[in-house]
Structure formats: structure tokens, C-alpha cells
Structure 1
Amino acid sequence: MKTHIGPAIRLTVVLLVLLSVIYPLVVAGIATFAPGGGKGETITVNGRVVGYKRVGQAFTEDRYFNSRPSAVDYNAAGSGGSNKGPSNANYLKTVQARIDTFLAHNPGVRKEDIPSELVTASGSGLDPDLSPAGAKIQIARIAKIRGISADRLNQLVDEHTEGPLLGLFGPSKVNVLQVNVALDALK
């Protein structure tokens, strides 16, 4: 038994140093080369940080593109989904309430035309993006409130649509914060 305790203690100490000191330092060093220096990529307007590019925020005013709902109220400290499935009665009530709210704020839109991401939360609860269809279905409302032509808003959404990674991986998406900042910049 004594022959096993010494190597086990040495292995534990080596792994402790490797995995709790060296590895985190290497990851932090690599992160400094990422956008934002590993602290997150911020979006700044007039010298003031208005948000993080890759963390969703609540936009509920009718004059803005609405965000995807969040199961964690956009709290980045505790991301996560709701863990409620499509057979859960409370979940179905929540989704129906979101549909009813969306239809009330977007007259002329039919229920079956609403993209699912506008009424369901993402797995992380912090999704900053919508599909182009999710953004474009809101254009009529925003155009009416802001007095901007729908064609100009379609162009704005197209300008802020990011294609799939390397043209192959993932869907096209529109960052809600970026498009709303650009929307405020329109005169």
C-alpha cells in the first residue's frame, strides 16, 4: 500500500499544478488574441459601451428590433435554458403569451409566419442573434413607428446579416444589438 501512496500523491500534485495553474494561464494567454482581448467584444456608441456583441439583451420597445426571449432574463452570470419541454403546460402557456404579445405589437403578421426564435428562448438564454426572417418580420412595425421606409430597413437588415461561418457552417444571422445601434444612427 505504501508503494502506491507516494506516486498517487505526486501525480495529484502534478495534475493540480497542471490543470489549475498552467492550463488556465495558457487559455487566458490565448484569449488575449481574441476580439476584446478575452474580456468580450463590446459595442460602443459615442464613447459609451452599450453592450457586448455576443451576449443577448432585452429590446422590447416597439421602435427597436426585439430580441429572442431569454429564460434567464439575459443574466450572463447564470445562463441556461428553462428545461421545459413542448409537452409542459406552463411552457406552452408562456410561448402562447409571447405569440399573443408579438401579434398585438405587429398587426398584419399571421401566427404561422412568426419565426420560432421570436417566441422561444435559446438553450443559453443569451442568444444575441436572430435569423434574417426574424428581423424582417418586425420591419413593418418599426417603419411605421420611426417613419423610415420599409425598403431602407430591409437594406439595414441585409447590411447587418452575417453569413454562415466559412460559407458552410451554421445559419445566417443578424446581431440584434448591432442592428439596433445602426437603427438609432439613421436620421
Structure 2
Amino acid sequence: MKKHISPALRLTGVMLVLLSVVYPLLVAGFARFTPGGGAGETVIANGKVVGFARIGQSFRDDRYFNTRPSAVGYNAAGSGGSNKGPSNPEYLKQVQARIDTFLVHNPDIRRADIPVELVTASGSGLDPDLSPGAAKIQVARIARVRGISVDRLNTLVDAHTESPLFGLFGPARVNVLKLNVALDAL
């Protein structure tokens, strides 16, 4: 019996040190090299922190680029999706309501041209980014409301489009918070 317990206790001690001391310190060390140094990348406007770049926030005013809908009301403490499948009648009503609302605020857009990400929530409910196409489809509305040229807004979207990681991994994306802060700065 001692033959089996002694190695098990040693292995437990080694794993305890590795997983509760060494691994967290290693992750914290790597985090120092990320934007924000591991504390999250804050977005600052007029000397104040207006949000975190990697947590989605609600923008529904016609003066701003709208974000992706959230199933959790943009509550970072309760991140998660709706868990409703694409054939769920309640989910379909919710998506239809989002489409109708989008069309009311963007009357020059055809229903078939609405990017799916503007009417469906993400798995986390906190996506901070949109595709460049989803941002550009909103340009006409914002140009009309703010009195800014469409070309200037398209240039702003292009300037805030982030390329895929190493040009290979993931899609091009636009951080909505950073884009809206830059829009206010115009």
C-alpha cells in the first residue's frame, strides 16, 4: 500500500506547485506583453476611460456605429449566449424584430443586404468587433445624421480595420468602441 500512496502524494505535490504557482506566473508573464499589460486594453477619450477594447458595449444611437446584439445585455459578469437554436420560434421572432428595427433606422438598406452579425447575438454576448462590411453598411445612416460625407466615414472605417493575425488567422475586424470614439473626435 505504501508503494502506491507515496508516489501519488509526490505527484499531487508536484502538480499542485506546477498548476497553482508555476503556470499562473507563466501566464501572467506572457500577459505583460499584451496590449494593456494584462490588465485589459482600455480606450480613453478626453482623458477618461470610456471602456475596454475587448468587451462589447451597446451603441444604439443613430449617430454611432451599432454593435452586435448581446444575449446577456453586455454584462461581462454574465457572459454567454441565448442557447436558442436557429429554428426556435422565440429566437426567430427576436431576430425578426432586430431586422425590422435595423430597417427602420437604415431605410436605404435592403433586407437581404443586412449582415447576419448585426441581427444575431454572439456566443459570448460581448463581441467588441464587427466585420468591415457590417460597419460600412451603417455609413449612410451616420453620414445623414451627423452631416459627414460618406467618403470620410468609409475612410474612417478603413483606418480602424484590423487585419487578421499575421495576415492568416481570423477575419478582418473593426472595433466598434474605438471606431465610435474616433467618430466623435471628427
State the TM-score bracket (shorter-chain normalisation).
over 0.9
The offset of 1:10, in angstroms, is 1.9
Q: What RMSD in Å do the two structures reach over aligned CA positions?
A: 1.2
The offset of 1:2, in angstroms, is 2.8
Residue 69 in structure 1 maps to residue 60 in structure 2: no
Partner of 2:110: 110
Partner of 1:5: 5
Q: Which residue identity does 1:6 align to in structure 2?
A: S
Q: Percent identity?
A: 75
What SS does the aligned partner of 1:21 have?
A: helix
Residue 44 in structure 1 maps to residue 44 in structure 2: yes
Question: Structure 2 matches for 1:89-128, cutoff 5 A?
Answer: 89-128=89-128
What SS does the aligned partner of 1:43 have?
A: strand
Q: Which residue identity does 2:59 align to in structure 1?
A: F
Q: C-alpha distance in 1, partners of 2:30/2:133? A: 36
Q: Which residue identity does 2:39 align to in structure 1?
A: K
Q: Unaligned regions of 5+ residues in structure 2, if any? A: none
Partner of 2:137: 137
Kindly report structure 1 stretches of 4+ aligned residues shifted beyond 3 Å: none
Q: Which residue identity does 2:143 align to in structure 1?
A: A
Partner of 1:150: 150
Q: Which residue identity does 2:166 align to in structure 1?
A: L
What SS does the aligned partner of 1:174 have?
A: strand
Q: Which residue identity does 1:178 align to in structure 2?
A: K
TM-score (normalizing by structure 1): 0.95
Q: Which residue identity does 1:168 align to in structure 2?
A: L
Structure 1 stretch 8-17 or stretch 54-63: which is displaced more? 8-17
Q: Which residue identity does 1:44 align to in structure 2?
A: I
TM-score (normalizing by structure 2): 0.95
Partner of 1:172: 172
